[in-house]
Amino acid sequence: MPSQFLLTPMVELLRPDGIVANLKASSKKQVLQELAKRAADLTGQHERAIFDVLLERERLGTTGVGRGIAIPHGKLPTLPKVCALFARLERPVDFDSIDEQPVDLICLLLAPESAGADHLKALALVSRMLRNPLFCEKLRGADTADAIYALLTHTEASNAA
């Protein structure tokens, strides 16, 4: 009997072209630069503005939340809606994480300055998803951007009934 799948709320934040399956970067700064470049292409926002917002947020405290995961985020005045970009790094990098472990899974969140609760809901959603060690192992083992997108945006309906 084939599994049924339900769309998760991530489908509203993440586009298929917002996945990077094997991002090459050797430092936290380089990761943020690459993500800013890709986010600029997806959102039409200025790359430098995205990078500056991400760096400013990192100065407040690391977004490396532990277990190889980082959730860099920021707000931009001209962004129309909350959006996400997901990257799996080719090799883990030091991200000043709270557990001092290198990071290889990154979910970038960008929100309009006026987003308020929507920004917090998106952070909570991503945090909940990436808190599951088995789910993170599936993301680490996925071969392609399409496979990662499917994992992030679909959930098995068998548990929903």
Q: How is the chain split into domains, by residue range?
A: 12-150
Phi/psi region, residue 102 (left: phi>0; alpha: psi -120 to 50; beta: rest), is: beta
Output the pLDDT for position 95.
96
As a whole number, the mean pLDDT across the chain is 90
Taking the C-alpha atoms of residue 111 and residue 90, their distance in angstroms, rounded to an integer, is 27
Query: Of all residues in the chain, what percent carry a pLDDT higher than 70?
Result: 91
Confidence grade of residue 83 (pLDDT, cut at 50, 70, 90): very high
Task: Tell me: pLDDT of 115 over 80.
Answer: yes
Over residues 26-73, the pLDDT tens digits come to: 999 999 999 999 999 999 999 999 999 999 999 999 999 999 999 999
Kindly state the helix (H) or strand (E) to which residue 5 belongs, with its residue range: strand 5-7
Please say whether the structural domain 12-150 has been given the CATH code 3.40.930.10.
Answer: yes
Based on the residue annotation, tell me whether 73 is a catalytic residue of this protein. yes
Tokens of 141: 């083992």
Q: What is the largest CA-CA distance in the chain?
A: 51
Alpha-carbon distance 23 to 35, whole Å?
9
In 3-state terms, the chain is what percent helix, strand and coil (to 5)? 45, 30, 30
- Spot the catalytic one: 46, 73, 119, 154: 73
* Rounded-to-integer distance, Cα 120 and Cα 117, Å: 5
Query: Hunting for tokens 């309009």 — which residue is that?
Result: 112
**What pLDDT sits at residue 6?**
57
pLDDT in the model for residue 8: 63
